[in-house]
Amino acid sequence: MKKLYFLLLTVLMTATSFGQVFITEIADPNNNAEARFIELYNAGPTDVDFTEGNGWQIDKYTNASGTVSTTLDLTGTIPAGGFYVIGYDNTPGTFNTVYGFAADQLDAVNNGVVGSNGDDDLALVDGTDTIIDFFGVPATDNTGTCAEYEDGRAERSPAVTMGNATFDESEWNVWADSAVSGCTNHTLQTQDAPASFDPGSWIGTATGPVVTIDSDITGLDYFEGNGPSAEQTFSVSGINLTGNLDVTAPTNFEISSTSGSGFGSSVSLTPSAGSVASTTLYVRLVSGLSANTYSDVLTASSTGATSETINVSGEVSPSTPQFNVLGTPGDMNYGLGNGPSNEESIFVEGLFLTNDITVTAPTNFEVSLTSGTGFGASVTVPQVSGTVANTEVFVRLASGLTEGAYSGNITVSSSPAADQTVALTGNVFGAATNALVLVGVYDGPLTGGTPKGIELIALADIPDLSVFGISSITNGAGSSAGTVEYNFPADAVSAGDRIFLATESTGFNSFFGMMPTYTSGVVGINGDDAIELYEGTTIIDTFGDVDMDGTGEAWDYLDGWAYRVNGTGPDGGFVLANWTFSGADALDGETDNSTAATPYPIATYTNPALSNATFTQANFSIYPNPTNKGYVNIKTTSNSAVNVTVFDLLGKKVITKTLSNNKLNVSSLKSGVYLLNIEQNGASTTKKLVIE
């Protein structure tokens, strides 16, 4: 219905006779975003019908947009010398409920024009399609500018008599939830509805003395005997004054016009030409109060003006002995015979103490106030005049322990305050079994560089996979040196089980036709990064030179892959000769590994450590599984014929096939779960097959 306007043209537009209708207040209440509104004022001598000509409208420019994002057509009439208030009606009835009267017009559009969130530009456009008033920095997200009023309000200065098509920050008094420097009058102070807003009223219309004051002050506090409280701020202003603007603090509170000094029961501000510009004042709880809560009313007054008040409140807490314990220690681990463990730490601090703080370690752990030395069963942190400053306490798993998991609670005490505890865990790992080997890394070609990840295989049964972990080394940053970034879940795996760890499942499934075993962002590798495989605290296998960016190196696998030579590994460090490579960019443009020119050799690694008895896991692979492609690949390490039988869950035989090309057609099967029996050279196994 309405044309769009480019902000760059606003400088060419001029106000018409309608220019005496302008914006006087924009509201974004901190406590209720549904109570937003826009207030217009008609400073002219005649009523204005907003439907005249092409119709008036307010345009909203969102998030630095140079063109109109949303438009609200105005529908009513604004009387001469009167107001027109447009309320946000995203939640019906909110404006009336909050402010006690009906708005002249409602905007029910979610995040519409009136639903502006404190950083959008607004333009008032008259019936001749001319911008007659504008708020905001054109083509700029107003965050951090003099036009930001998030969780606050923007009110027109009283001296303004007409709209301005070019935003002038000096024409506005702005309150917001963030500080902005370099503005004429921008105050760090959130505003709550209804107390901080006055829809249908504007200080610029007043003829008699008027004083204004900011919103309520809460949260002033100190401990008994340690007053006064920290300061908070509020602002006052006045127009048409015939005497001083006097601000009076109630009993138990004090105010000043200067931070840190000059506090007393009142402040008197002298007007200039009848006005007191918005002035920041400071308020605090007085010292010497007993433990209690305090609240009262602070008053701003001037001769002939209606006094304005805000609520002030605070609390004095009893100075009883108390302390805090901060920090959550991580696992403390070491290999058998190589203790003590790595150090973790907690922090203690206290006030009004009558005794020192004692930190006692549980059995098998030890504590110290000094990293690397002085460890024992407990430490004492002395209080000085009742205070313990924030102090770090180091903790570790003691040396000489047998293989196993350890746990317990640190106890922190200082009578008569209640004890506090912190949980500790650690492990002593046995000698590495080398039961897991890293066999593949891949850097995929799909959107976002997926799939990314690694392939591993169990060379022996592993009752608890969480003993193993992974760290990635980016751009030759050096070994992770004991810092395990990802530990596998505490699952049990059997010899021959393959584990696929990827950054996510969607791209992995799309490219490989099956789901990864686990996901973690730790393997978000970029083709020039290294991987370390841990068993306990020991690095048992490595891909890539951890001290070198792999770009252009022999092991570079950017947009490609690397795969371990059969029968090798785990190697501890990186052995280049034990890997084969696709070459950089080998997977570029590919969408499916099974049709790629140089496919990743998924699930093909074999190792003599896997005996014939583990045929069921080690010497064959089935993929994709689950599948929605109408086929599965069945690969084995032997060239002999493979006899395949598929049963449904009722035991009915649905497919019998002897394979010669590794591919089994399952397009005839409905979605569901089946049992797949494979027989080759007298050995057999049965696996679950999922058809999607």
pLDDT above 60: residue 207:
yes
> According to the model, what pLDDT value does residue 650 have?
63
488 and 567 belong to one structural domain? yes
Total number of residues shown for the chain = 692
pLDDT tens track for 175-201 = 999 999 999 999 999 999 999 999 999
262 and 281 belong to one structural domain? yes
Pairing of strands 308-317, 292-301: antiparallel
> According to the model, what pLDDT value does residue 540 have?
96
Residue 347's alpha-carbon distances to 56, 137, 327, 357, 388, in angstroms, are 63, 47, 6, 11, 11
Q: What is the C-alpha separation between 526 and 316, in angstroms, rounded?
A: 56
Here the CATH number for the domain that contains residue 241 is: 2.60.40
Beta carbons within 10 angstroms of residue 688's beta carbon: 12
Give the range of the structural domain holding residue 287, as residue numbers without chain letter.
Answer: 215-317
Residue 149's alpha-carbon distances to 83, 140, 146, 200, in angstroms, are 21, 14, 8, 19
Judged by DSSP in three states, 447 sits in helix
> According to the model, what pLDDT value does residue 482 have?
82
Average pLDDT over the chain, rounded to an integer: 90
Judged by DSSP in three states, 615 sits in helix
Segment 160-164 mean pLDDT? 90
Place of tokens 């209080």: 383
> According to the model, what pLDDT value does residue 688 have?
78
Residue 410's alpha-carbon distances to 271, 366, 403, in angstroms, are 63, 9, 22
Confidence of residue 612 (pLDDT cuts 50, 70, 90): very low
Q: What is the C-alpha separation between 26 and 214, in angstroms, rounded?
A: 16
651 and 686 belong to one structural domain? yes
End position of a domain, from candidates 205, 230, 253: 205
End position of a domain, from candidates 545, 580, 595: 595
Segment 205-210 mean pLDDT? 80
331 and 313 belong to one structural domain? no
> According to the model, what pLDDT value does residue 619 have?
60
601 is a domain residue: no
231 and 340 belong to one structural domain? no
123 and 177 belong to one structural domain? yes
Residue 173's alpha-carbon distances to 19, 29, 146, 196, in angstroms, are 20, 15, 10, 13
Segment 343-351 mean pLDDT? 97
> According to the model, what pLDDT value does residue 36 have?
97
Residue 232's alpha-carbon distances to 166, 179, 213, 443, in angstroms, are 35, 14, 14, 55
> According to the model, what pLDDT value does residue 45 have?
66
72 and 146 belong to one structural domain? yes
> According to the model, what pLDDT value does residue 9 have?
34
Q: What are 232's strand-pairing partners?
A: 283
Confidence of residue 17 (pLDDT cuts 50, 70, 90): very low
Place of tokens 């009023």: 149
Report yes or no: 56 and 50 within 8 Å, Cβ to Cβ: yes
Here the CATH number for the domain that contains residue 344 is: 2.60.40.10
pLDDT above 90: residue 640:
no
381 and 519 belong to one structural domain? no
Here the CATH number for the domain that contains residue 639 is: 2.60.40.3080
Confidence of residue 15 (pLDDT cuts 50, 70, 90): very low
610 is a domain residue: no
Confidence of residue 246 (pLDDT cuts 50, 70, 90): very high
58 is a domain residue: yes
Q: Which stretch of DSSP H or E encloses residue 579?
A: strand 579-581
613 is a domain residue: no
139 and 288 belong to one structural domain? no
Statement: the pTM of the whole predicted model exceeds 0.75: no
Segment 595-614 mean pLDDT? 78
413's tokens: 């005490």
Beta carbons within 10 angstroms of residue 281's beta carbon: 23
234 and 351 belong to one structural domain? no
607 is a domain residue: no
CA 533 from centre of chain = 30
301 and 403 belong to one structural domain? no
200 and 266 belong to one structural domain? no
Segment 284-292 mean pLDDT? 97
Confidence of residue 12 (pLDDT cuts 50, 70, 90): very low
Q: What are 395's strand-pairing partners?
A: 344, 367
> Helices marked H in 203-281 — which ranges?
none
2 is a domain residue: no
End position of a domain, from candidates 429, 460, 495: 429
Comparing C-alpha atoms, which of 612, 616, 607, 602 is closest to residue 678?
Answer: 616
606 is a domain residue: no
pLDDT tens track for 492-550 = 998 888 999 999 999 999 999 889 999 999 999 988 999 999 999 899 999 999 999 99
Residue 207's alpha-carbon distances to 106, 276, 304, in angstroms, are 30, 15, 11
How many folded domains does the chain comprise?
A: 5
First to last CA, the chain: 50
pLDDT above 70: residue 330:
yes
Segment 483-489 mean pLDDT? 93
245 is a domain residue: yes
pLDDT tens track for 116-137 = 988 899 999 999 999 999 999 8
Here the CATH number for the domain that contains residue 95 is: 2.60.40.1260
User: DSSP secondary structure string, 631-664?
Assistant: EEEEEESS-S-EEEEEE-TTS-EEEEEEESSSEE
